[in-house]
């Protein structure tokens, strides 16, 4: 197998594949970063229900993971990303983003500070060339460890109970913190992080111990309703939470073909994480200029009447002039609300007199709906249990 | 922060730094210029003691361009600038016998053809010349539209046929023009040599003719296309400009090497010298080249990652080695020594001399430009003795083995000289030979590059040194660039003058 024929090979299997494939009744697989991952094991509604009412297990091994180490690691990441990395405590995690010189989003992701000079950056897209280019002048080593770290997301209200039953004392573990546990003669890293907006954890382990971990969790988790879930259910949960996904809610600048497709973090509602005072970082000057003059777009959360999901719909001002478009939408089973994420032209950020045009499929026939939308704060779903330390028992 | 000790701090006392500092001082700013070496002048400063009584410029030995604005505003004549020779002829040394060329005039079978070609190309070069005297146009807007329109109209007024011809010639390689238009191998060699002098390019590379057009666009002291030698050589030009700068009120500090440009709150507010001394200023202008300025003195941390990558990839490949010889008597080249002498028998020789450089190797038969300044006037060498300076092409900027590249190119250059002037080797009393790497180490020129970065079509005008840096401003507020690495390149002072103008326009 040569590098040039790699794309013709079947998708790679994650270390959990022997288990996930046995459980995948539908053989419903999707491609994620070169891996085969379950879209749905049997019933998305049941899987989503597990996320919100019990516990769920989702194989996140394909997430791109970079290890960044060296004396300049913190300084390097401060220059790379928009947040303040020097202030990130050891064993803590933060959600972050980075941009190109023009201040346009390249990706978002989570940054784990494993040690004073040791970080893991997790994200959706591959960035090794950019990370390496950015390293010029810094004493750091950057490695892609996507393949050498297996990972699971354990999410849902009973997730803490599952971990306790497994013998991992996570009572003191606060949101966006991590801790190490001995397991199967290796170190299991558990972080209180996730992509569902709910109480939840992510578990990181060497591939060799992946199956042992899966089995242990599934065994101990059974009484708590633990269920493996696929991407469909997780994407529904993330939309309910109001989280962004690269290539769905924004086009990474380095991939955008059309000049006007890229977006700045300010335009995506991520201005809160930009640290203007930490010193220089890539894109800062462009973002400062944008802050002065105002951006072109705004990302908004929307409430829509009815129960027809507005996926892919266009937004109109006064029902006539195009003003934006929906990037993610769902009728939320948890909240019983019809929700959407949308990009609107900056002058329509208040969403006044904005209408969404939905084509509702009703027994083979499309019906055109023109419905008024209302801006609504994000995250849409943020239960108390997500934050509570120690997490509540079920 | 302490009160700034001056308004403007200029880094680098080459001709561009001096011109820029002078203009800014003339417009009422308090200017300090810091130069790393004991002498100002950069590449034109005097070579330190090659031999007793021998004076030669360190690198640049002949003047193609002297910006008329600089000359006038700095009143260089009043500061001691005079001419040892104007309209210097070029003699191409060849087994066919030497051929002398002065501008459009020459002899031999191609005399007419040369005259026609030269006139045609100088007509075009003159239309391009005004672009040298302004900040490059910018595709994104913010241009001096009036001047731009005037210069563009100037081009258009060439007439449809000549305009088309110009577009063709901008893209074409020098070798094709030489073989299309000329039969005399010596004239072909001259054209090919001058189009690639100082470039990292063979005359067969596309876009090499424009480099010759750029040379033809030059003028010195009111005369167009006038290759000139100041009285006292180029160090005397540096001295005149230094005196003019002082007269305008510029404080000049020599022996002061800048180690860092100080930045606070994303604004350049001074420099730190290698000694640790800090000098504060409202504005810092660096004339040492875009690459060392931004990559070394500013540092990656203060710059966006994309810009750093583009700067790292910006081409700066010196391909000219510098040879100096002190000679105990006049060498015999079989021709008048009061000329620029070229060792380049034909167009192919120039091409062949470049080929090995592509692979980090050295040519067996380098082509060379020789000047014996001592032949033009006394004072360059003791009575009866001579000093020869040569630009030797081509030399690899990143040789596989630095030591053996240097020894073999030196031996090859000496062999070329011996063939052209039998017995010259025995006259050598002292010598000095600098490869591009040595030039970078001693003069700070990135890659040893003639222009602080290749002057090639893709790095010209609004692409010089990079699109986002082409208006002399940098992303760091208060930090400006000038020097040969910025538009239009070279040592004419034009880059320094343009940069000062840009600073004034920005009200900085
Ligand atoms: C081998 C060779 C031969 C050449 N021959 C000719 C020729 O015959 N005719 C011609 O027209 N052109 C010639 N050139 C090109 C010419 O030398 C350059 O175009 C010219 O030197 C550019 O002038 P400048 O003022 O921009 O910079 P420079 O002349 O390079 O001056 C830069 C100055 O900055 C100083 N400096 C550098 N770093 C620091 C620091 N950290 N702190 C303080 N000061 C610093 C340097 O010491 C130097 O004095 C030649 C170039 C080479 C390499």
- Give B36-53 pLDDT, tens digit per residue: 999 999 999 998 889 999
- Determine, yes or no, domain membership for A385: no
- Determine, yes or no, domain membership for A24: yes
Find the mean pLDDT for residues B165-172. Answer: 88
Find the mean pLDDT for residues B423-439. Answer: 97
- Determine, yes or no, domain membership for A255: no
* Chain A / chain B CB contacts < 8 angstroms: 44
**pLDDT for position B404:** 97
> Closest residue (by CA) to atom 35 of ligand 1?
B12
State the Cα–Cα distance between residues B169 and B76, nearest whole angstrom: 35
Ligand 1 centroid to residue B483 C-alpha, Å: 8
* DSSP E strands, B163-286: 219-220, 223-224, 229-230, 251-253, 258-264, 267-273, 278-286
- Determine, yes or no, domain membership for A32: yes
- Specify the residue for token string 């600048």: A253
Same domain, A226 and A328: no
Q: What is the DSSP letter of A386?
A: G
**pLDDT for position B480:** 98
Same domain, A350 and A204: no
Same domain, A302 and A235: no
Quote the minimal CA–CA distance from B477 to chain A in Å.
Answer: 10
pTM above the 0.90 mark?
yes
Domain span including residue A43: 11-61+149-241
- Determine, yes or no, domain membership for A86: no
Find the mean pLDDT for residues A84-99. Answer: 98
**pLDDT for position A7:** 76
CB-based contacts of B43, cutoff 8 Å, min separation 6 = B14, B57, B58, B59, B60, B443, B445, B491
Question: Which residues on chain B are in Cβ contact (under 8 Å) with A137?
Answer: 295, 299-301, 308
Helices B145-156 + B111-132 axis angle, to 10: 160
- Give B187-238 pLDDT, tens digit per residue: 999 999 999 999 999 999 999 999 999 999 999 999 999 999 999 999 999 9
Q: Do A134 and B305 touch (CB under 8 A)?
A: yes
Mean pLDDT value across chain A: 96
**pLDDT for position B3:** 60
Which of helix, strand or coil describes residue A1? Answer: coil
Residue of B32, B38, B43 to test ligand 1 pocket, by largest number of atoms within 8 Å of CB: B43
CATH number, domain with residue A349: 2.40.30.110
Find the mean pLDDT for residues A116-128. Answer: 97
Q: Do A285 and B300 touch (CB under 8 A)?
A: no
Q: Which residues line ligand 1 (CB under 6 A)?
A: B 11-17, 34-37, 42-43, 59-64, 198, 257-258, 287-288, 318, 320, 322, 391, 439, 443-445, 448, 450-451, 483-484, 490-491
Ligand 1 centroid to residue B12 C-alpha, Å: 9
Show the DSSP H helices in B332-491 as ranges. Answer: 347-354, 402-420, 424-427, 436-443
State the Cα–Cα distance between residues B306 and B294, nearest whole angstrom: 13
Same domain, A219 and A320: no
Which of helix, strand or coil describes residue B462? Answer: helix
> Are A204 and A189 in contact, with CB atoms under 8 Å apart?
yes
Give CA angle at A40 (A39, A41), nearest 5°.
130
State the Cα–Cα distance between residues B148 and B134, nearest whole angstrom: 9
Same domain, A212 and A316: no
State the Cα–Cα distance between residues A208 and A188, nearest whole angstrom: 12
CB-based contacts of A68, cutoff 8 Å, min separation 6 = A76, A77, A118, A119, A120, A121, A131, A140, A141, A142
Same domain, A226 and A161: yes
Same domain, A53 and A170: yes
**pLDDT for position B149:** 84
ipTM of the complex: 0.94
Ligand 1 centroid to residue A150 C-alpha, Å: 56
Torsion sign, CA atoms B163, B164, B170, B174: negative
Q: Do A101 and B306 touch (CB under 8 A)?
A: yes
Task: Name A321's bridge partners.
Answer: A317
State the Cα–Cα distance between residues A388 and B372, nearest whole angstrom: 86
- Determine, yes or no, domain membership for A173: yes
- Determine, yes or no, domain membership for A100: no
CATH number, domain with residue A202: 3.30.1360.120
Question: Which residues on chain B are in Cβ contact (under 8 Å) with A284?
Answer: 266, 304
Same domain, A305 and A188: no
**pLDDT for position B1:** 46
Find the mean pLDDT for residues A334-343. Answer: 97
The values of phi and psi at residue A139, to 5°, are -90, 85
Torsion sign, CA atoms B349, B350, B351, B352: positive
Interface list for chain B against chain A, based on CB atoms closer than 8 Å: 266, 295, 299-309, 312, 475
Same domain, A326 and A211: no
Best to test chain B binding among A81, A134, A138, A287 (most B CBs inside 10 Å):
A134
**pLDDT for position B2:** 54
Find the mean pLDDT for residues A355-370. Answer: 96
Ligand 1 centroid to residue A344 C-alpha, Å: 53
- Determine, yes or no, domain membership for A102: no
Same domain, A339 and A214: no
Same domain, A222 and A340: no
Relative to the CA of B41, which ligand 1 atom is closest? 49
Residue of B12, B370, B464 to test ligand 1 pocket, by largest number of atoms within 8 Å of CB: B12
Could you write out the DSSP letters of every residue in A249-304? TB--TTT--STT----TTTTT-GGG--TTS---TTHHHHHHHHHH--SEEEEEEEE
CB-based contacts of A281, cutoff 8 Å, min separation 6 = A78, A79, A80, A81, A82
Which of helix, strand or coil describes residue B323? Answer: strand
**pLDDT for position A134:** 98
Best to test chain B binding among A104, A282, A287, A292 (most B CBs inside 10 Å):
A282
- Give B302-331 pLDDT, tens digit per residue: 999 999 999 999 999 999 999 999 999 999
Instruction: Please state the domain count of chain A.
Output: 2
Same domain, A353 and A205: no
Quote the minimal CA–CA distance from A85 to chain B in Å.
Answer: 14
Residue B81 has pLDDT above 80, yes or no: yes
- Give A15-54 pLDDT, tens digit per residue: 999 999 999 999 999 999 999 999 999 999 999 999 999 9
Find the mean pLDDT for residues B355-383. Answer: 97
């Amino acid at each position: 197998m040569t590098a040039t024929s790699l794309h013709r090979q079947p998708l790679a299997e994650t270390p959990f594949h022997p288990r996930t494939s046995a459980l995948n009744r539908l053989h419903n697989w999707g491609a994620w970063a070169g891996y085969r991952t379950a879209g749905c094991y049997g019933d998305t509604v049941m899987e989503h229900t597990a996320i919100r009412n019990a516990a769920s297990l989702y194989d996140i091994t394909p997430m791109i993971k970079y290890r960044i180490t060296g004396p300049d690691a913190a300084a390097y990441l401060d220059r790379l990303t928009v947040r303040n990395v020097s202030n990130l405590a050891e064993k803590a995690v933060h959600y972050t983003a980075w941009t190109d010189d023009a201040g346009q989003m390249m990706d978002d992701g989570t940054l784990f500070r494993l040690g004073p000079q040791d970080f893991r950056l997790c994200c959706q897209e591959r960035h090794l060339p950019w990370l390496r280019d950015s390293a010029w002048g810094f004493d750091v080593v950057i490695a892609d460890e996507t393949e050498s770290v297996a990972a699971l997301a354990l999410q849902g209200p009973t997730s803490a109970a599952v971990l306790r039953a497994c013998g991992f004392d996570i009572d003191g573990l606060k949101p966006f913190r991590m801790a190490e546990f001995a397991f199967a003669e290796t170190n299991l890293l558990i972080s209180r992080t996730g992509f569902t907006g709910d109480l939840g954890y992510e578990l990181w382990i060497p591939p060799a111990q992946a199956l042992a971990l899966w089995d242990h969790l599934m065994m101990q988790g059974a009484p708590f309703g633990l269920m493996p879930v696929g991407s469909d259910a997780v994407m529904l949960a993330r939309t309910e939470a109001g989280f962004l996904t690269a290539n769905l809610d924004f086009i990474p600048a380095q991939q955008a073909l059309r000049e006007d497709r890229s977006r700045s973090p300010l335009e995506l509602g991520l201005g809160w994480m930009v640290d203007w005072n930490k010193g220089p970082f890539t894109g800062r000057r462009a973002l400062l200029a944008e802050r002065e003059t105002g951006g072109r777009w705004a990302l908004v959360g929307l409430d829509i009447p009815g129960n027809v999901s507005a996926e892919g719909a266009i937004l109109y001002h006064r029902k006539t002039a195009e003003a934006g478009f929906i990037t993610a939408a769902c009728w939320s089973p948890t909240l019983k609300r019809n929700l959407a994420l949308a990009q609107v032209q900056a002058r329509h950020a208040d969403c006044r007199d904005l209408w969404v045009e939905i084509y509702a499929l009703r027994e083979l026939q499309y019906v055109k709906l023109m419905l008024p939308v209302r801006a609504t704060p994000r995250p849409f779903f943020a239960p108390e249990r997500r934050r509570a330390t120690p997490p509540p028992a079920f | 922060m302490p009160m700034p000790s001056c308004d403007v701090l200029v880094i680098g006392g080459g001709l561009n730094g001096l011109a820029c500092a002078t203009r800014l001082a003339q417009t009422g700013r308090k200017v300090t210029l810091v130069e790393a070496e004991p002498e100002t002048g950069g590449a034109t400063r005097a070579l330190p003691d090659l031999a007793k009584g021998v004076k030669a410029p360190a690198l640049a030995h002949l003047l193609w361009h002297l910006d008329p604005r600089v000359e006038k505003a700095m009143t260089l004549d009043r500061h001691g600038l005079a001419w040892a020779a104007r309209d210097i002829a070029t003699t191409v040394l060849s087994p066919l016998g030497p051929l002398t060329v002065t501008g459009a005039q020459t002899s031999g079978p191609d005399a007419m053809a040369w005259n026609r070609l030269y006139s045609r190309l100088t007509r075009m070069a003159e239309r391009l010349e005004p672009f040298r005297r302004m900040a490059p146009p910018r595709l994104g807007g913010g241009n001096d539209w009036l001047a731009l329109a005037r210069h563009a109209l100037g081009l258009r007024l060439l007439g449809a046929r000549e305009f088309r011809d110009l577009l063709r010639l901008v893209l074409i390689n020098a070798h094709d023009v030489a073989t299309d238009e000329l039969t005399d191998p010596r004239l072909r060699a001259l054209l090919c040599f001058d189009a690639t002098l100082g470039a990292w390019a063979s005359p067969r590379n596309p876009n090499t003719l424009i480099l010759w057009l750029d040379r033809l666009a030059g003028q010195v002291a009111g005369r167009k296309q006038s290759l000139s030698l100041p009285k006292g050589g180029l160090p005397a030009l540096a001295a005149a400009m230094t005196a003019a700068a002082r007269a305008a009120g510029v404080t000049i500090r020599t022996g002061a090497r800048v180690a860092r440009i100080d930045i606070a709150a994303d604004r350049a507010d001074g420099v730190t010298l290698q000694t640790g001394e800090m000098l504060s200023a409202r504005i810092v202008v660096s004339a040492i080249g875009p690459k060392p300025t931004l990559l070394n003195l500013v540092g990656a941390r203060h710059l966006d990652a994309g810009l750093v990558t583009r700067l790292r990839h910006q081409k700066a490949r010196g391909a000219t080695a510098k040879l100096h010889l002190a000679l105990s008597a006049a060498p015999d080249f079989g021709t008048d020594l009061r000329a620029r002498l070229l060792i380049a028998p034909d167009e192919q020789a120039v091409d062949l001399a470049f080929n090995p450089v592509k692979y980090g190797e050295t040519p067996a038969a380098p082509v060379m430009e020789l000047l014996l300044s001592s032949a033009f006037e006394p004072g360059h060498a003791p009575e009866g003795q001579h000093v020869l300076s040569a630009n030797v092409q081509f030399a690899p900027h990143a040789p596989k083995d630095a030591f053996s590249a240097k020894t073999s190119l030196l031996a090859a250059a000496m062999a070329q000289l011996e063939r052209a002037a039998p017995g010259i080797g025995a006259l050598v009393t002292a010598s000095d030979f600098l490869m591009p790497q040595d030039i970078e180490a001693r003069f700070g020129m990135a890659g040893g590059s003639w222009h602080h970065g290749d002057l090639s079509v893709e790095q010209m005008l609004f692409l010089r040194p990079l699109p986002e840096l082409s208006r002399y401003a940098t992303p760091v507020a208060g930090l400006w660039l000038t020097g040969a690495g910025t538009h239009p390149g070279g040592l004419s002072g034009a880059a320094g003058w343009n940069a000062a103008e840009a600073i004034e326009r920005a009200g900085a």
